[in-house]
């Protein structure tokens, strides 16, 4: 097989480049075409690896004078030996059939036989078109694109982002390795390796095999209880490593929380508090104060009407941990959870209200909002040793709350609709989804309301006005009644 490719290659080279010297070879990269030096020697086409490395932003250096040359990319180092066809990557040695050549102080490599090696070194899909004498570097080619670790109160969530993948295999091996094989996977090694996080991993390997991709993670934590599945929107393999010390929620217990026949208890969560100021406006308005006032107004409306009862996660300016917020919600057996916030952006022109529900973010702006709101909780989780997570036994046995996703999306839409009707003083940014930690811990339909942008001058002024705060509270309340009317009779 290789021999036929080689013969075909030699024929092509023979036909199209009759031993020409100093030709240019095309490199298609980042949507453009670049030229690098090449030449044919003994019917083999060589190209300048030194120039290609420059295009990649990588480096070719002399390792020891006259002996070996190193090609250093972000993820790996490859050693070449002058006049030798062998190269070394880590512990493995490969044969390029033809020796490397040094000319004018530059490293030249045989195009046809080196390209499969380059394809493994570089994170992009690299292919060689012998016909057009073109190296194609395609960064959009992958279907295994990224990796993420999310610490949860009861364990660790690992996500491998894929596209168009139907199948995967997962197995454990000695030394706390977790191996995920993805048939027909083409993996963006650089991207995945960049997610190597010492907090969760002792070691990590990402392999591109000819028919599959393999991701191997050597975890810090013991793999105890594990669940995994293929999720969509975005496509990803979701692996939940669950702490066994957390008391499993039994079926009978589960019936006590979440919506029963009645939707009558609302948990209102004013974001931030105490040392966590939340976002701060240009005139010094503090998110933690504004949202507490709106939350209190909402509670007042609810208590006056007696359709629902209301519980606030905090009634004063105090710091609450993620665990405390979600414990209150679950222990108080809420039917709906509403976290109230004010948004922030480096773009001062950004303004308006927006209602979020819990699901993986689909766009950068939603992801940014979740990052903003998760920041304090992340710091909190990061500062605690593993053992302290075990106390948080209120969190349920699975990690991503998907049970009430449809209801939560519906609730978000209903609240947004009443915002649209009642709040005309600022923009309507609609509903969106993102991964908010605080929503993930509560076992009931839940939304996070970004009332307005504290970083926008006009919005900041609104947030400081009693009328706007009352309007916002009323809009949320109308949405709650709408939700009750729809779901209680089901
Ligand atoms: Zn906030």
The domain limits of the chain are 2-138, 144-242, 251-487
Cα 393 to middle of ligand 1, angstroms? 25
Other beta carbons within 10 Å of 275? 10
Q: Look-up: residue for tokens 């040392």?
A: 275
* CA 404 to centroid of ligand 1, rounded, Å: 22
Neighbours of 56 (CB within 10 A): 19
* Model pLDDT, residue 376: 74
**Residue 452 in this model has a pLDDT that exceeds 50:** yes
What is the pLDDT, as a whole number, of residue 461? 97
pTM of the complete model beyond 0.85 = no
For residue 267, give both structure tokens. Answer: 């948990």
Lowest-pLDDT choice from 32-36, 393-397, 423-427, 463-467 = 393-397
Phi, psi of 309 (to 5 degrees): -110, 160
Question: pLDDT digit string (tens) for 194-208?
Answer: 888 888 999 999 998
* Composition of the chain by helix, strand, coil, percent to 5: 30, 35, 35
Concatenated DSSP letters of 387-433:
GGGGG-TTS-SSSS--TTHHHHHHHHHHHHHHHHHH--SS-EEEEEE
Close Cβ partners of 64 (under 8 Å, ≥ 6 residues apart):
none
Q: How far is the CA of 322 from the centre of ligand 1 (A)?
A: 13
Q: What is the pLDDT of residues 121-163, one digit of tens each?
A: 776 778 899 889 999 988 667 889 889 888 776 678 899 988 8
- Say what the pLDDT of residue 4 is: 56
- Alpha-helix runs per DSSP H in 209-286: 251-256
Q: What's the pLDDT band for 341 if we cut at 50, 70, 90?
A: very high
Tens-digit pLDDT profile for residues 376-413 = 776 665 544 433 333 332 232 234 556 688 889 899 99
Cα 339 to ligand 1 centroid, rounded to whole Å: 9
Cα 76 to ligand 1 centre (Å)? 41
* Ligand 1 midpoint to CA 342 (Å): 5
**Mean predicted confidence (pLDDT) in 78-106:** 83
Q: What is the pLDDT of residue 11?
A: 47
CA of 401 relative to ligand 1 center, distance in Å: 20
Distance CA 212, CA 210 (A): 6
Contact (CB, 8 A) for 353 and 453: no
Which residues have a Cβ under 8 Å from the Cβ of 110 and sit 6 or more positions away?
Answer: 44, 45, 46, 96, 97, 98, 100
Nearest in space to 151 (alpha carbons), one of 397, 378, 366, 376: 378
- Read off the pLDDT band of 272 (50, 70, 90): very high
The CA distance from 178 to 180, in Å, is: 7
Q: Which two tokens stand for residue 401?
A: 């709350």
How high does pLDDT run on average in the chain? 82
Could you tell me the fold of the domain covering 144-242? Answer: Immunoglobulin-like (2.60.40)
Given a cut of 60, is residue 479 above it in pLDDT?
yes
Which has more confidence, 437 or 278?
278
CATH number belonging to domain 2-138: 3.30.457.10
Taking the domain 251-487, which CATH number applies?
3.40.630.40
């Amino acid at each position: 097989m290789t021999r036929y490719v080689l013969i075909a290659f030699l024929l092509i080279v023979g036909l199209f480049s009759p031993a020409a010297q100093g030709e240019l070879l095309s490199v298609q990269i980042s949507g453009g075409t670049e030229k690098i030096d090449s030449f044919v020697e003994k019917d083999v086409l060589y190209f300048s690896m030194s120039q290609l490395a420059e295009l990649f932003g990588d480096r070719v250096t002399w390792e020891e004078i006259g002996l070996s040359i190193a090609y250093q990319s972000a993820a790996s180092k490859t050693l070449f030996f002058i006049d030798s066809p062998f190269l070394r990557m880590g512990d493995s040695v490969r044969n390029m059939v033809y020796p490397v050549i040094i000319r004018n102080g530059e490293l030249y490599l045989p195009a046809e036989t080196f390209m499969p090696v380059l394809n493994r070194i570089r994170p992009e899909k690299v292919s060689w078109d012998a016909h057009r004498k073109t190296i194609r570097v395609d960064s959009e080619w992958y279907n295994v694109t990224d990796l993420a670790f999310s610490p949860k109160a009861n364990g660790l969530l690992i996500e491998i982002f894929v596209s168009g993948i139907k199948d995967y295999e997962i197995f454990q091996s000695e030394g706390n390795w977790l191996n995920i094989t993805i048939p027909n996977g083409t993996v963006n090694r650089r991207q995945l390796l960049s997610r190597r996080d010492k907090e969760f991993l002792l070691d990590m390997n990402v392999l591109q095999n000819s028919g599959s991709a393999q991701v191997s993670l050597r975890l810090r934590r013991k793999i105890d209880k594990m669940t995994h599945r293929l999720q969509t929107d975005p496509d990803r393999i979701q692996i939940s490593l669950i702490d066994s010390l957390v008391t499993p929620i039994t079926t009978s217990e589960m019936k006590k929380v979440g919506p029963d026949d009645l939707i009558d208890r609302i948990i209102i969560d004013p974001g931030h508090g105490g040392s966590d100021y939340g976002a701060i406006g240009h005139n010094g308005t503090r998110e933690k104060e504004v949202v507490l006032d709106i939350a209190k107004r909402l509670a007042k409306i609810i208590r006056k009407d007696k359709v629902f009862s209301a519980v606030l996660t905090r009634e004063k300016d105090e710091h609450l941990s993620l665990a405390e917020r979600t414990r209150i919600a679950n222990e108080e057996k809420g039917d709906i959870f509403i976290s109230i916030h004010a948004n922030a952006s480096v773009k001062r022109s950004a303004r308006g209200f927006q209602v979020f529900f819990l699901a993986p973010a689909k766009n950068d702006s939603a992801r940014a909002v979740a990052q903003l709101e998760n920041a304090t909780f992340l710091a909190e989780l990061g500062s605690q040793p593993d053992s302290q997570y075990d106390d948080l036994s209120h969190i349920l046995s699975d990690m991503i709350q998907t049970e009430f996703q449809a209801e939560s999306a519906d609730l978000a839409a209903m609240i947004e609709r009443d915002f649209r009707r009642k709040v005309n003083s600022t923009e309507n940014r609609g509903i969106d989804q993102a991964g908010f930690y605080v929503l993930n811990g509560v076992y009931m339909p839940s939304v996070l309301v970004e009332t307005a942008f504290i970083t926008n001058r006009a919005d900041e002024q609104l947030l400081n006005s009693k009328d706007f705060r009352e309007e916002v509270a009323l809009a949320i309340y109308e949405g709650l009644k709408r939700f009750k009317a729809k779901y209680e009779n089901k």
